[in-house]
Chain A
C-alpha cells in the first residue's frame, strides 16, 4: 500500500476523500471538413471506489469518445474537449499540463480496449509491452520489470506465464489476448479502470470468463470500473449503476435494478424490449425504429424524438428535456418519464 501513497504525493491537489472519478458536463466535438460533430454534449457521472458504472448506448452515441476524453487520448485534431470537468480525486485532469496528465494514465486511470489483437503492438512480445510500464513509470530494470510482467500474466490466469511472456500477441487466443490487455491495464494498480467494450470481440463463453475475471480483480483492489458496452446482458450481470447515452447525452441514470425494473426513458425502454426473450418465442422482436442521428445534425429538442412513440410537440422544441429527478437516486431526460415508467 505504500506504493499508493507515493503515487498520491506526486500529484498536487489530490484529495484522498474525493471520488476517484467525476465527470461534469463534458463536451467533446470533432471538427471535420463536413462540419462539427457534437460527439459528447454534457455528459456527467460519478464513480465511487469499487463501483461499476456501465455506460450503455448504441454505436456512435459518444460512449467511447467519453472514455478517450477521460484518458486524454482523443485524436486531436479533429477531436477537442470543449467544456466540462474530469475530476480525479478532486483534480481537474483537463487543467493539468500534458506531462502531469501522462502520469495519471495507467497509474491512476487505466483503460482496456475492445479488440485486443489490434490494441496490442504486433511486433513486440507481450512481456515487453507489460514490462514497458514498469520501466517507464517505475524506473525498474529490464529484469525486474520482466519478472513483474510474469506475475501479472499469472494474476490474469494465463497458463505457463513464464514461457508465454516471450510470445507475441498473435500467438495468443482472443480471450488470452484480452487477459493480457487487462494485465496491462492493472499493472500499475490504477484506482479507475475504463473498459471499452472489453468482450465485444469474444465469443460468449470467453466473455463470461473475462467479465468474471474483471469483477474478481475489481473486488480485490476496490477499483472503480467504467464499463462501456452495448450489451444489456453483461450490464445486468456486473454493473451497479447505469448511464444510458444517446446522441452524446446521458438520457437516463439509475441503479441497475431500477433500470431493468422500470425504465424511465423511452430509449432505455426500447433497448430493453429489443432483448430477445425465451418466453416471447415466436413473436416478432420489438426494435427501436429508425437510426441514431448523425452527430453533425442532431435533431432539435430531444434528440430521440424522431424515433420515440411518446414524442409530442414539446419534444421537438428547444431546449432539450432536462434530467428530471425520477427518484432520489435516479434521473431521466424525458418530459414524459411518468408515463414511460408507469406504462408497463
Chain B
C-alpha cells in the first residue's frame, strides 16, 4: 500500500507539469493574440510608453516571447550569448514560473499587484463551504432517494426518483442556477422578505439571490444545493441500481437464511456492498464539483475560487489562472488518490501492490 501511494504521488509530477504547461501556453497565446493585459489598467487613456513599459515589466508581461504569436515561451535567447550548455538559449518564461512556484512558493501577482497566494487564501473558505454543502446535500439526499427507490423497484417512489433525476441531469447547471436565482432567490425571496414574522436569516440569508457577506453560511445553502443537484441525480441513480443488484445477491439470501432481521439484512449486508461504487463516485465528484463551482459562484456572486478564476481569465491575468487551476488540479488528484485508498478500505478484495 505504501509503495502504491508513493507511485501514485510520483505520477502527480508529470500531470501537474503538463497541466501547468498547457495553462501557461493558453494564457501566453491569449496575451500574444489579444495584446498586453496591462493596457486595461489605463482604460481609454493612452499611457506614456515608459510607464506602460515599467508596469508591464513589473507585472511579469515583459518577456519578448509574448510579442511573438504562437511562441510557447519555453526558451529565450541568452543575453551573454552563452546560454544553457552553450546553446545560446536559456530557460524562458515557463521555467521562470515553475521556479517561482516550486522554489520560492511565489505564484506571482495580479494586475492590482495583489499576491495570488493571498487572493486564493481569501477565496478558498467560500468555495470549501459551498463544496461541503453541495457534497453533503447530494450524498444524504441522493443516497436516501436511491436506497428507497432501489428497495421498491417499480413503485411510485421509484418512478418519482427516475423522472426527477432525468430532469435534473438534462438541465445544464447554468440554466438551473439562473432559474433558481430568479424564481427562488428573487421572486419567492421577495414574498418572504415582505413577511415580518419570517426571520432575516431565512428571508434575507437563505433565500437571497446572491451571496451575502452578512450571512456567510446561510446564503450559500441554495448555491450549494444547485451545485450538488446534478451529481445528486447521478448519486441517486447509482445507489438505486447498486441496491437493486445487491438485494438479489446470494449473500443477501444467506443473511436472510441466517434469521437476521430485515433491518440488519438491508442495513448491514446490502448497504455496505451497495455503497462502494457510490462512495467512490462521490470522491471523484469533488473534482467535478470544483469545476461546477466556477459556474455556480459566478451566478450567485460568491467570492470563491471559481469566481476568482473566471474574472482573472476575463482580464487575462495569467499568473492567477495558472496558480488557481494548478491548485485545483492538485486537489482533484489528491481526492482521486484518497478515493482509491478508500476503495481498498471499503472492499477488502481490492489490494494495491
B272 adjacent to chain A (CB < 8 Å)? yes
- Which B residues from 235 to 283 make CB contacts under 8 A with A? 248-251, 253-261, 264, 269, 272-273, 276
Please pick, from B251, B261, B269, the residue contacting A118 in the complex, using a CB distance under 8 A. B251
B299 adjacent to chain A (CB < 8 Å)? no
Q: For residue B255, which residues in chain A have a CB less than 8 angstroms away from its CB?
A: 121
Known: A121-B269, A123-B273. A102 touches B259 (CB 8 A): yes
Complex Cα–Cα for A68 and B252 (A): 13
A170 adjacent to chain B (CB < 8 Å)? yes
Q: Are A118 and B250 in contact (CB under 8 A)?
A: yes
Q: For residue A170, which residues in chain B have a CB less than 8 angstroms away from its CB?
A: 348-349
Task: Identify which of A102, A115, A168 gathers the most chain B CB atoms within 10 Å of its CB.
Answer: A102
Complex Cα–Cα for A133 and B260 (A): 8
The chain B residue sitting closest to A114, CB to CB, is B250
B347 adjacent to chain A (CB < 8 Å)? yes
Binary contact readout A180-194 vs B (1 if CB under 8 angstroms, 0 otherwise): 000010000000000
Q: Are A119 and B259 in contact (CB under 8 A)?
A: no
Closest beta carbon of chain A to B316's beta carbon, Å: 51
Complex Cα–Cα for A120 and B348 (A): 13
B interface, over-half SS: helix
Q: Are B254 and A113 in contact (CB under 8 A)?
A: yes
Q: Are B269 and A103 in contact (CB under 8 A)?
A: no
Complex Cα–Cα for A118 and B249 (A): 8
B329 adjacent to chain A (CB < 8 Å)? no
Report the interface size class on chain B: 20 to 34
Q: Are A123 and B256 in contact (CB under 8 A)?
A: no
Closest beta carbon of chain A to B348's beta carbon, Å: 4
The chain B residue sitting closest to A184, CB to CB, is B258
A243 adjacent to chain B (CB < 8 Å)? no
B98 adjacent to chain A (CB < 8 Å)? no
Q: Are B347 and A136 in contact (CB under 8 A)?
A: no
Chain A interface, number of residues (Cβ within 8 angstroms): 29
Known: A136-B264, A168-B349. A122 touches B259 (CB 8 A): no
A104 adjacent to chain B (CB < 8 Å)? yes
The chain A residue sitting closest to B260, CB to CB, is A136
Q: Are B253 and A122 in contact (CB under 8 A)?
A: no
B346 adjacent to chain A (CB < 8 Å)? yes
A106 adjacent to chain B (CB < 8 Å)? yes
Complex Cα–Cα for A104 and B254 (A): 14
Q: For residue B259, which residues in chain A have a CB less than 8 angstroms away from its CB?
A: 102-107, 133, 136-137
Complex Cα–Cα for A136 and B347 (A): 24
Q: For residue A102, which residues in chain B have a CB less than 8 angstroms away from its CB?
A: 259-261
A residues whose Cβ falls under 8 Å from a Cβ of B: 68, 71, 73, 75, 102-107, 110-111, 113, 115, 118-125, 132-133, 136-137, 168, 170, 184
Selected A-B contacts with CB under 8 Å, 8 pairs: A68-B253, A102-B259, A103-B259, A118-B251, A121-B254, A132-B258, A137-B259, A184-B254
Q: A105-B256, A105-B259, A123-B276 are in contact. List 16 more A-B contacts (CB 8 A).
A: A71-B257, A102-B259, A113-B254, A113-B257, A118-B250, A119-B251, A120-B251, A122-B251, A123-B348, A124-B272, A125-B348, A132-B258, A136-B259, A137-B259, A170-B348, A184-B258
